[in-house]
Amino acid sequence: MRLKQLPLPDPGQPDLRSPMRYLTWIARGQAMLLAWGTVNGIVWMMSTAAVPAALGAGVQDAASGDQRGAWQASAVLLALGLISAIAGLLRHRAAVTNWITASSRTQQLVVRKAADLGGQLGRTVATGEVVAVTSSDVEKIGSAFDVFARFAGAVVAFFAVAIVLMRSSSLLGGIVIIGVPILGLAVGPMLKPLERRESAQRKRLGRATELAADTVAGLRVLRGIGGEELFISRFQEASQDVRTAAVEVARLRSLLAAMQVALPGLFVGAVVWVGAHLVQSGVLNVGQLVAFYGYSAFMLLPLRTFMEAAERWTKAYVAASRVIRVLSLERDDVDFTRGSIIANPTAATLRDPLSGLVVSPGLFTAIVCAEQVTADEIAIRLAGLGPDGANVTIDDVRLGDLPRPTLRSYILTQDKDPVLLSGTLRELLDVPRSGAVSVEDAIETASAFDVLDALIDASPDTSEPMDARVTERGRSLSGGQRQRLALTRSLVTDPPILILDEPTSAVDAHTETRIAAGLRSSRQGRTTVVLTSSPLVLDQADQVVLVLDARVVAVGKHRELLANDPRYRAVVTREEVPSA
């Protein structure tokens, strides 16, 4: 597999039963690439391991006056150097390819799952957690496959050198065969604590990232209400938690790194000391002593590789558990498989049995909720999402019985934080539409002409408004401008039933008045539902529904409810809601 073949046409269906099964599934998916890297890793490590033998033979021949043998040993050393260089280059290329392929496959799976979950992802997993998975965990999984070829070569070279040492000296061979596994097992007790501390750090990092994203996204609002310092202090506290967890991880890692240097060094020292005594006793000759010194120095490489592999696979195991958590998420809406349809969705009544809400057809209905979480839940259900969205009915037909494309053609829901993808305004407004509402009419209703001016000012290379560019998520626009641009997109679609969740929360009072009046006029005869507590919008509604404790408690006109219902008046004027 070559890097130019990435991303993969289909990353496949992963095994999510456990982190190790997931890593094994990744390995099977790139088995040929891993095999090629393993072959080159073994050749590279074995050619390096053979150098001490050739060097010792050359020294012995030179000491005994055999010039021909010395030249032959030199030629063998040159050949081994060339083989090691070529095999090392191929091994490194294969290792990097394995790393990137495993990372890319995991990243594709996460992105595919995020696209499938859509808006539900943010409600199920924290934004910071998703960011950490896609930016950090995929790299840790890839790094485990990077070390695989070196690990395989280290295992083969270790046993080959051990056999050579056993043939030369059973004492030295025994020290190597017994000592190296002991050194490898010495780091074992540290791996489980390292895994726990890595997991704790990851959780705290995800929380801090989530706080940072939320703070930046709502910075304008926070400044307006004086809450900037509060959120900054919360982020500072979360950041300190991350720092503390990182220090704990670093302490264990530093100890592990010290052991990776100290233990092999002590081991090599012991091997050299025993070898020197064997030379003094006449068991070994000078050439064999040089070879033993070389073998002792070489053994540092497989030992460190074993320890590095253990550390990387521990990190990969933790990362894989995070990835599995995201990939195991399922849509909590219903399986739209049956083929019920509505003859005239414009004249259909929408009912939510959980709250008792009844949305009459063709009217501008405003829903007032005492708790924001209740408003969000109602918006989700009316869109056919969530575990209870299937039970919402449209003309007595459950939304769960409608094919998904059909449902989406009936009901359009605009979230309170709508997403604006990067591209031109023309591309942004290139959505399915009835043709009854022009782009100009939608812009006028949303009072968004000044947004066009702002986009043109930010795109000096074009004078055509529709060719003006929108940055990712509309970051260059204010919150109110983003809301009005999203409202323009929703109005152009012109669905039979339009549900708007707080569409004017970030605009000024004059603009909000124009938008409310425009919605009432432009959506005449079609069902429009707005979840809001703004008196300027409520005054334009045909009917207002008050929801307390997740249940409908009053229905009427805004001015009537304001005059006659103290509960409604308290919610709209931000007073304490009186008990029933």
Question: Given pLDDT bands bounded at 50, 70 and 90, which one contains residue 454?
Answer: confident
**Domain limit, last residue, from 260, 293, 327:** 327
The residue among 223 and 278 whose pLDDT is bigger is 278
**How confident is the model over 250-279, as a mean pLDDT?**
77
- State the CATH number of the domain containing residue 190: 1.20.1560.10
Amino acid 323: pLDDT = 87
State whether 356 and 261 are in the same domain: no
Amino acid 283: pLDDT = 72
Contact criterion met (CB below 8 Å) for 431 and 492: yes
Distance CA 526, CA 523 (A): 5
Owning domain of residue 414: 345-572
Question: Given pLDDT bands bounded at 50, 70 and 90, which one contains residue 561?
Answer: very high
Q: What's the whole-number average pLDDT of the chain? A: 81
State whether 459 and 548 are in the same domain: yes
State whether 294 and 441 are in the same domain: no
Contacts of 47 (CB under 8 A, 6+ apart): 80, 83, 84, 87
Contact criterion met (CB below 8 Å) for 361 and 347: yes
- Residue 297: CB atoms within 10 A of its CB come to 15
**How confident is the model over 60-79, as a mean pLDDT?**
80
State whether 287 and 167 are in the same domain: yes
Question: Given pLDDT bands bounded at 50, 70 and 90, which one contains residue 363?
Answer: very high
Amino acid 339: pLDDT = 44
- Residue 80: CB atoms within 10 A of its CB come to 19
Which tokens hold the place of 534? Answer: 């703004």
State whether 568 and 422 are in the same domain: yes
Q: For residue 491, is pLDDT > 90?
A: yes
Total-model pTM: 0.52
In a domain, 579, yes or no: no
Coil, helix or strand at residue 125: coil
**Domain limit, last residue, from 300, 327, 354:** 327
Distance CA 285, CA 182 (A): 29
State whether 311 and 354 are in the same domain: no
Digit-coded pLDDT (tens) for 177-229: 677 667 666 766 766 677 677 767 766 776 676 666 555 555 444 444 555 56
Digit-coded pLDDT (tens) for 100-117: 888 888 888 888 887 777
Amino acid 129: pLDDT = 62
Amino acid 432: pLDDT = 84
State whether 282 and 351 are in the same domain: no
In a domain, 52, yes or no: yes
Q: Which amino acid is at 453?
A: D
Question: Given pLDDT bands bounded at 50, 70 and 90, which one contains residue 162?
Answer: confident
**How confident is the model over 434-452, as a mean pLDDT?**
89
Nearest to 408 by CA among 426, 422, 389, 427: 389
**Domain limit, last residue, from 267, 299, 327:** 327
**How confident is the model over 540-564, as a mean pLDDT?**
94
State whether 404 and 552 are in the same domain: yes
Q: Which amino acid is at 169?
A: S
Digit-coded pLDDT (tens) for 314-343: 888 888 888 888 888 776 554 434 445 777
- Residue 75: CB atoms within 10 A of its CB come to 12
**How confident is the model over 37-54, as a mean pLDDT?**
86
Digit-coded pLDDT (tens) for 2-30: 556 677 788 888 888 888 999 999 888 88
Contacts of 373 (CB under 8 A, 6+ apart): none
In a domain, 170, yes or no: yes
Q: Which amino acid is at 513?
A: T
The percentage of residues in the chain with a pLDDT greater than 90, rounded to a whole number, is: 21
Amino acid 130: pLDDT = 67
State whether 224 and 365 are in the same domain: no
In a domain, 184, yes or no: yes
Alpha-carbon torsion angle 465, 467, 472, 478, nearest 10: -10
Amino acid 218: pLDDT = 52
State whether 322 and 359 are in the same domain: no
- Decide the pairing of beta strands 397-398 and 357-359: unpaired
Contact criterion met (CB below 8 Å) for 511 and 481: no
In a domain, 196, yes or no: yes
CA atoms within 13 A on the CB side of 41: 28
Residue 170 CA, chain-centre distance (Å), reads: 53
The residue among 87 and 278 whose pLDDT is bigger is 87
Amino acid 495: pLDDT = 92
Amino acid 492: pLDDT = 93
Asked which of 141-155, 190-204, 414-428, 432-446 is least confident by mean pLDDT, the reply is 190-204
State whether 313 and 358 are in the same domain: no
Total domains in the fold of the chain? 2
State whether 353 and 321 are in the same domain: no
Mean pLDDT highest for which of 22-36, 210-224, 416-430, 446-460?
Answer: 22-36
In a domain, 3, yes or no: no
Distance CA 232, CA 223 (A): 11
Amino acid 163: pLDDT = 82
Which tokens hold the place of 372? Answer: 């924001």
In a domain, 333, yes or no: no
- State the CATH number of the domain containing residue 417: 3.40.50.300
The residue among 571 and 117 whose pLDDT is bigger is 571
Amino acid 188: pLDDT = 63
In a domain, 580, yes or no: no
**How confident is the model over 90-103, as a mean pLDDT?**
88
